[in-house]
Amino acid sequence: TERPPVWMMRQAGRFMKEYWDIKNKYSFLEMCKTPEIAADVTMLPIDLLDVDAAILFSDILVTAEAMGGQLSFEAGVGPLFANPVKNEADIDALLVDGTEDRLKYVADAIKVIQQRLNGTKPLIGFAGAPFTVMSYLIEGGSSKDFKKTKLFIHNQPVLAHKLLQKIADVTVAYLNMQIAAGVNALQLFDSWALALSWDDYNEFSHQYNAQIISRLNRAGIPIISFCKG
């Protein structure tokens, strides 16, 4: 290319007064789940910075919430799950069927955003990768050492794979829904892949990311597999 591509991690525009004007009126999940508001936030860096692509305003944990995770966002703390996964019964309680209907607000937001972009910029959609989503479900929120997650995958690998497959199945349906709604590119965020050794990464992360990508109705839609670390 004529210049290297640069990814600016804008953290949903937290430095922008215009973002806080919206954020101070609504909870984070209200912003994600209201298509017009999600479109407003998505368009801020397009309108103010003229970046090369729009990034869907959402969160990687909406899939976990659609599966039955009791998700909230606490100021100064971040995402929390009131019902963390501890055993097989907790995994069995997580839903796969019906998650597309519960995530329809994302497809609706994509359609509103594409109306506003009107072909001027591509729109990047995304989802959380199974290992990263699983770590939030097991830890009950963010973690520095991922102790519970590592104990789970090493002490109960069969259950870990059962949970990862459920998340992968939901993620495939979710990303295919985004493609059908009109995104121009996708990204799979494996933000916590860095917590794993190379062998564990291959077993509990990479194989599921590869499976998801292989099951998408991509039809020319490029996808970025982003594994931090």
What was the pLDDT predicted at 217? 96
Q: In this structure, are residues 225 and 218 in contact, taking their beta carbons and an 8 Å threshold?
A: no
Return the H-helix or E-strand segment holding 156: none
Q: pLDDT tier at 49 (50, 70, 90 boundaries)?
A: confident
**Average pLDDT score, the chain:** 94
Q: What pLDDT is stored for residue 83 in this prediction?
A: 97
Q: What is the pLDDT of residue 11?
A: 59
For residue 158, give the amino acid letter.
V
Q: Length of the chain in residues, anyone?
A: 229
pLDDT for the residue 9: 63
The mean per-residue pLDDT over the stretch 19-36 comes to 94
Q: Is the pLDDT score of 36 beyond 70? A: yes
- Using one digit for the tens of pLDDT, what is the confidence trace for 73-113? 998 889 999 999 999 999 999 999 999 999 999 999 999 99
Distances (CA, A) of 155 to 41, 50, 147: 42, 49, 12
Q: Flag whether pLDDT at 175 surpasses 70.
A: yes
Say yes or no to pLDDT of 118 above 90. yes
Q: For residue 193, what are its two tokens?
A: 């892949």
Among residues 28, 13, 101, which one has the least CA distance to residue 59?
28
Whole-number pLDDT of residue 4: 81
d(CA 58, CA 39): 10
pLDDT tens-place string over residues 179-205: 999 999 999 999 999 999 999 999 999
pLDDT at position 192 is: 94
Cα-Cα-Cα-Cα dihedral sign, residues 88, 209, 172, 9 = positive
The DSSP call for residue 141 is: B
Q: What pLDDT is attached to residue 108?
A: 98
Tokens of 53: 């692509």
Other Cβ atoms less than 10 A from the Cβ of 2: the count is 3
